[in-house]
Amino acid sequence: MMIQPTIVTKKAFQTIGISIITNNEIEMSSNGKIPHQWNQYFQEQITNQIPNKATQTETIALYSNYESDETGNYTYTIGVPVSTISNTPKNMTALTIPAATYAVFTTRKGPLSEIIAETWQDIWKWSKENNRAFTTDFELYDERTFNPNDAQVDIYIALV
């Protein structure tokens, strides 16, 4: 059964994190870069290197700089919301996400590795009939994801 999104409007916000450029074709192959990026994020304790954190419990994975639509390249950034992007460390990316209206998909509870992929399948189906902006989308990881085997995530999809 497909998840029905909630529509929300969010104020602009800023994040700092680590970025890669990838696309869905790469991510669906055995050469996916995103799992390696998460490993780096945790192994190097990137969270602890980010200044001016606006929260202690949220991690955000952002999809931005879309080349076209879900078939093109995009920038994938794992980071945290911050109060200011001044003093961004040299090896990191600072992003300002403009105020926008989002369709928010809340995953079922389950293993992180399954629920994210499954919900994106729903989002791709949903976006065939809805107006995705392809500006900045993001996954919000909060206290509901502390147990990775029984997690729940909100995925924000920017609307036109």
Q: What band does 3 get if pLDDT is binned at 50, 70 and 90? A: confident
- Of the candidates 138, 128, 144, 137, the one whose C-alpha atom is nearest the C-alpha of residue 159 is 137
DSSP 15-81: EEEEEEEE-HHHHTSTT-SHHHHHHHHHHTTHHHH-SSBS-SS-EEEEEES-SSSTTS-EEEEEEEE
What share of the chain in percent tops pLDDT 70? 99
Confidence (pLDDT) at 155: 98
Domains and CATH numbers, the chain: 6-158 (3.20.80.10)
Question: Is 51 exposed, middle or buried, given 0-12, 13-18 or 19+ CB atoms closer than 10 A?
Answer: middle
Mean per-residue pLDDT for 66-71?
92
Token pair belonging to 40? 């780096």
pLDDT tens digits along 82-127 = 999 999 999 999 999 999 999 999 999 999 989 999 999 999 999 8
pTM of structure: 0.95
Mean residue pLDDT of the chain comes to 95
Cβ-based neighbours of 1, under 8 Å, separated by 6 or more: none
What CA–CA distance (Å, rounded) separates 152 from 75? 23
Residue-wise pLDDT for 31-58, tens only, equals: 999 999 999 999 999 999 999 999 989 9
- Mean pLDDT along residues 70-76: 95
Question: Residue 12 above 70 pLDDT?
Answer: yes
| SS3 at position 113 | helix
pLDDT at residue 2 in the model: 73
Q: What is the reported pLDDT for 7? A: 97
What is residue 60's predicted lDDT score, i.e. its pLDDT? 97
- pLDDT greater than 70 at residue 1: no
Q: What angle do CA 16, 66, 5 make, to 5 degrees?
A: 85
Is pLDDT above 90 for 5?
yes
